[in-house]
């Protein structure tokens, strides 16, 4: 009885033989490659060395490495020289460009800082003149840097001990300061309250940090009520006892640390 068609084996070799044949071909190529790498043609190696010598001038005095036996006996040293040469090629120009860009950036930053300092100095002279005209030199200290002009008001002038409400006799001083801010401030104004390090606690304020913040806020509210300053341009913060300007171990030092600082940032300030 003849076999049915579906029982006959498929024509051609089995599928596993194709995979096995590919594997054998790959192994053969691998061993041929290993063999070719193990056989070094001296003529070819000398030609390669001379090519490198003519192109990169690695070998001293035009000598060839093969003739002196250097490439074989001390190949690593010359390969390192070649690597250093290749790495340095093309980087010299990049390094010079980076140095030029860095120097240009440094010059621009120096010019900017100088311009900022000049702007603050000009603002400082105007405010100092206004303070002298209003006879406030004894109660307001003025200083400046490249970012801002700073007015420092003594805490004893503005507040009673442990309180944040501005004293009535200090209101004329704040009024004149408000006029100066309206006239000269073109950017951000920052109000900071500071205290000494003597621990305090009251029904309203838990510690010096809360007290200093409340004092800065009271000055802010006064300016908002009596001037046309933009509230969005005026910031306030309490720094407590953490930024002293004098020694807290003496009464004089503690008195200096109890203060309010008003910073008027110049138009070129990076804080804007």
- Give, to the nearest 10 degrees, the angle between helix 75-88 and helix 42-56: 40
Its sign, for the CA torsion 151, 156, 162, 166, is: negative
pLDDT score, position 21: 76
pLDDT score, position 43: 65
DSSP 8-state assignment for residue 153: E
Q: Which two tokens stand for residue 133?
A: 């005209």
d(CA 52, CA 83): 12
pLDDT score, position 54: 59
pLDDT score, position 18: 72
Reduced to 3 states (helix: H, G, I; strand: E, B; else coil), residue 193 is: strand
pLDDT score, position 95: 72
d(CA 96, CA 137): 53
Under 8 Å between Cβ of 217 and 262 = no
Spatial strand order of the sheet with 189-194 comes to 140-144, 148-154, 259-265, 189-194, 234-238
Beta-ladder partners of 193:
238, 260
pLDDT score, position 11: 64
pLDDT averaged per 10 residues, the chain (length 272): 54 70 78 65 62 53 48 51 60 71 83 91 96 95 96 95 95 97 94 96 92 97 97 96 96 96 92 64
pLDDT score, position 23: 79
pLDDT score, position 69: 47
pLDDT score, position 25: 79
DSSP 8-state assignment for residue 142: E
pLDDT score, position 73: 46
Beta-ladder partners of 262:
151, 191
d(CA 223, CA 178): 6
């Amino acid at each position: 009885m003849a076999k049915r068609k579906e029982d006959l084996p498929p024509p051609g070799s089995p599928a596993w033989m194709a995979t096995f044949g590919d594997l054998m071909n790959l192994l053969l190529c691998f061993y041929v490659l290993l063999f070719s790498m193990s056989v070094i043609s001296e003529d070819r190696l000398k030609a390669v060395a001379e090519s490198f010598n003519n192109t990169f001038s690695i070998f001293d005095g035009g000598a060839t490495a093969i003739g002196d036996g250097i490439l074989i006996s001390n190949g690593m040293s010359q390969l390192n020289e070649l690597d250093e040469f290749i790495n340095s090629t093309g980087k010299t120009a990049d390094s010079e460009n980076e140095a030029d860009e860095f120097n240009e950036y440094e010059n621009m930053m120096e010019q900017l800082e100088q311009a900022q300092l000049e702007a603050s100095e000009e603002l400082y002279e105007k405010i100092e003149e206004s303070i002298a005209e209003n006879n406030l030199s004894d109660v307001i200290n003025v200083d400046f840097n490249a970012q801002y002009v700073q007015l420092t008001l003594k805490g004893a002038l503005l507040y009673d001990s442990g309180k944040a409400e501005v004293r009535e006799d200090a209101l004329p001083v704040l009024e004149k300061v408000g006029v100066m801010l309206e006239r000269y401030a073109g950017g951000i104004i920052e109000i900071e309250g500071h205290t000494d390090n003597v621990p305090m606690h009251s029904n309203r304020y838990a510690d010096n940090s809360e007290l200093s913040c409340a004092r800065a806020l009271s000055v802010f509210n006064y300016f908002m009520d009596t001037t046309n300053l933009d509230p969005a341009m005026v910031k306030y913060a309490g720094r407590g006892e953490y930024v002293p300007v004098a020694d807290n171990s003496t009464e004089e030092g503690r008195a200096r640390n109890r203060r309010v600082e008003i910073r008027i940032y110049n138009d070129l300030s990076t804080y804007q």
